Amino acid sequence: MTFLVGVLLVLAGCSDGAGPTTAVPGDCLVEASGADDMNVVECADAEAKWSVLAVADTTDDTVCADQPDGDIYLTFEDEGTSVCLRLLGAVGDCAWTDFSGLADCEEDSGYQLAAILEDTDDESGCPAETEQVRVYSDPSVYCWIRWPAS
């Protein structure tokens, strides 16, 4: 079970300061008020939720083409730039059903990160109620359950 890699978000811009369009591969991001408002933070910061995999001067989906760990791409039409991102979720985080961003676990429905299996690409250790699995190359496995539970 895997989820779709690459969800197009057409954005006009982002918050003041360093954001996705000024980020470089290896930078980490935190959502300020949503996917269109992100700031660069230290990757060791517990608030870091996205890792920048690639930045390209294009507004199509090719920014993630060579990125097997790419979860979503953001397109900034005004700047002609796209950014490929990997989710750096923590157990308990919630995401939209299309995995285009993090959701509010108290108000939104989607998926909740039930487990992160590190140093493996074997998804058999995921909880039985897992509905979505994302296997990364580092290696690690993210196990997602439906939220709220049905």
pTM: predicted TM-score of the whole model, two decimal places: 0.79
Q: Taking 60 as the threshold, does the pLDDT of residue 1 lie above it?
A: no
Residue 4 CB coordination number (10 Å) = 10
CB under 8 Å to 117, separation ≥6 — which residues? 123, 125, 126, 140, 141, 143
Look up residue 129 and give its two tokens. Answer: 């109620």
Q: Taking 80 as the threshold, does the pLDDT of residue 74 lie above it?
A: yes
Q: Taking 90 as the threshold, does the pLDDT of residue 141 lie above it?
A: yes
Q: Taking 90 as the threshold, does the pLDDT of residue 51 lie above it?
A: yes
Report how far residue 46's alpha carbon sits from residue 8's, in angstroms, rounded to the nearest whole number: 26
The pLDDT mean for the chain works out to 83
Q: Taking 80 as the threshold, does the pLDDT of residue 150 lie above it?
A: no
Confidence of residue 19 (pLDDT cuts 50, 70, 90): low
Residue 32 sits at the vertex; the CA angle it makes with 46 and 99, to the nearest 5 degrees, is 80
Q: Taking 90 as the threshold, does the pLDDT of residue 76 lie above it?
A: no
Residue found under tokens 């989906």: 61
Mean pLDDT of 49-60: 90
